[in-house]
Structure 1
């Protein structure tokens, strides 16, 4: 169908889906054959497209039988099943025991269902209703982060002052600051 020399892509449109499958399976042979038969080409990737619809030509017109007139469609009649079939179904219904549920099993199922609902409620709690004038959860987190940053900054400034005073006095500085946390 087409060949792109820049990318080495050969587009092929098979006549039938089976031919497309055969082309896909025999890709290495297709590449070798195309590069061998057409000098100067460098087919690297064949791309098999969907099958092309058949065009009605003179050969197709001769092969197609003439259209037959459509038979009138009669309504389908529903018949009652034979008596033997109905008797067999009724006998099966009478012979099959009705399903009985053990009350102990039913209670166990109810307990298990209640326990699973409770676990689900704990794992995925309903969000609390936030009043209109309250901060949204993201704003609460931002405010908390600002407070933490301010406290950390105040501790760092306090320690820097103490270390400077210790240097000026000529006394050794103390190890890690007790108020600071390390992260890792």
Structure 2
């Protein structure tokens, strides 16, 4: 890292990789010699940018990228090439000037809008709108509508019977009798509790008198 920061090794290694790239191609992929040009090497990331003169050679480069990286590190001592970045094919034979220009132009956004699956033509939209307008409205079958209404009424009636409102419940004789029994039981329990409490108080006063 110290040598790289001081510029002692990285520029030399990068220049050597670019200068000896044809030898790397000859050793790893001889069929690409003369059709690929190395244009840039980033010593910090270890990325080597190359430009083919046709898309077919670019595909071949991607297939043998690992082999080329290994050959570059073997040919150039201290190169430390990690990845191979294949750029867009250049027009004609890839030279240093045209390849560098392609490297600078690559990140630029496309001039026109990118067509995706969500992009539809105006003609399709007009045809779809006309088709929807021409379609006849769907009419529901009266018999089906009546059946649905009858079913809803039956469900509401069942719900009303299963869960009646408190105000709507009538006081039947049985309910009145149960209420009277409950009130009598409660009154008897209260009387018994009062009597027991009075008995405990009398017993406590008697014990106090005996103690005194």
* Structure with the greater alpha carbon radius of gyration: 2
Fold shared by both chains (TM-score > 0.5): no
TM-score, with structure 2 as normaliser: 0.27
More helix by share: 2
